[in-house]
Amino acid sequence: MENLDSDLLRTFIAVAEAGSVTDGAERIFRSQSAASIQIKRLEEVLGRKVFERHGRGVVLTETGQRLLPVARTVTERLDSALREIASDGLSGKLRLGLPDDHGRDKLARIVGAFTQSHPLVELEVTCSLSAGFPEALARGQLDLAVYEVEIPSAIEELLFEDPTCWAASAVRDFSSVEPLPVALFDHACWWRDAALHSLEQMDRPYRVVYSSQSVAGVIAAVEAGVGVGLLGRSSLNDRMRVLGEADGFGAAPVSKLVLGVSDKARSESVEAMMSAIRTEFRR
């Protein structure tokens, strides 16, 4: 009886998750023909089909449905074993604070890159609005954190600069609306303070109509036309427009994303995580 090759299982998983041989092949950086050959080989080993054609894609047969969870378990265990064998021996617990408003893909790559290289380190990740991270570092509740400030201190490492601006829905005109409806963060942080300071400098009445704990919440309000909001330019999309001097809005400050470390937390694992964070933000 022939054995199942893990490479065949990985191709099978990719095609099953993508719903087509072509898209599955792209996920594992193979040609469509190479992926098709591997699927055919897998079916020869099993003596049964794992996919049926469906429109322009494929669907799992009953055999394929039975095989998929097994294939995932096998490949995950192989990957885990390889990481442990090839790891550098770093262990212990690392408490990390990451902001929830700078892209899940970026944060996932940071955590993914670190855990693949240092699988024995236990990560405790706090992903939230970063206003409370500096205090958590000072109290020793976090080992290191990424957060936003207006002016970095001497002990904070600058990672990224993001100009802020006032933004409104692309389909709503606030030029004649008084008082001006405003969406703000509901935490005491420099973003809220900067927004209020900017509003006070405008010779125009305003009213806070919406508050949120997260950037996603403020973005949703702006997109929906609930009010105008102060956002980083990296958060803007085609459903919003920038409000400038022509709209009565002056210059806004630059948000600076920094890396902070607790004085009590210097270790090899902390240095390794700092390296992973720097690498991602320099991409």
- DSSP codes of every residue in 116-184: HH-TTEEEEEEEE-GGGHHHHHHTTS-SEEEEEESS--TTSEEEEEEEEEEEEETT---TT-SSEEEEE
Tokens standing for residue 114: 């670190």
Q: How confident is the model at residue 7 (pLDDT cuts 50, 70, 90)?
A: very high
Q: Return d(Cα 101, Cα 84) in angstroms, integer.
A: 32
* pLDDT for position 194: 87
Query: pLDDT of 35-87, one tens digit each?
Result: 999 999 999 999 999 999 888 899 999 999 999 999 999 988 887 777 666 65
Q: How confident is the model at residue 260 (pLDDT cuts 50, 70, 90)?
A: very high
Question: Which of 1-5, 173-177, 194-198, 261-265 is the least confident region?
Answer: 1-5
Beta carbons within 8 Å of 249's beta carbon, 6+ residues apart? 165, 166, 198, 202, 243
Query: Contact at 8 Å (CB) between 144 and 96?
Result: yes
* pLDDT for position 114: 86
* pLDDT for position 143: 94
* pLDDT for position 192: 87
Query: Contact at 8 Å (CB) between 136 and 108?
Result: no
Cα torsion through 218, 223, 229, 234, rounded to 10:
80
Query: pLDDT of 149-203, one tens digit each?
Result: 888 998 899 998 889 999 999 999 999 999 999 999 887 677 888 899 889 888 8
* pLDDT for position 170: 95
Residue 282 has what DSSP assignment?
Answer: T
The answer to whether residue 28 scores a pLDDT higher than 90 is no
pTM for the predicted model, two decimal places: 0.60
Query: pLDDT of 121-148, one tens digit each?
Result: 888 988 877 878 999 999 999 999 999 8
Q: Select the more confidently predicted residue: 9 or 118.
A: 9
Query: pLDDT of 87-108, one tens digit each?
Result: 556 778 999 998 876 656 777 8
Report the interhelical angle of 62-86 vs 6-18 (nearest 10°). Answer: 120
* pLDDT for position 107: 79
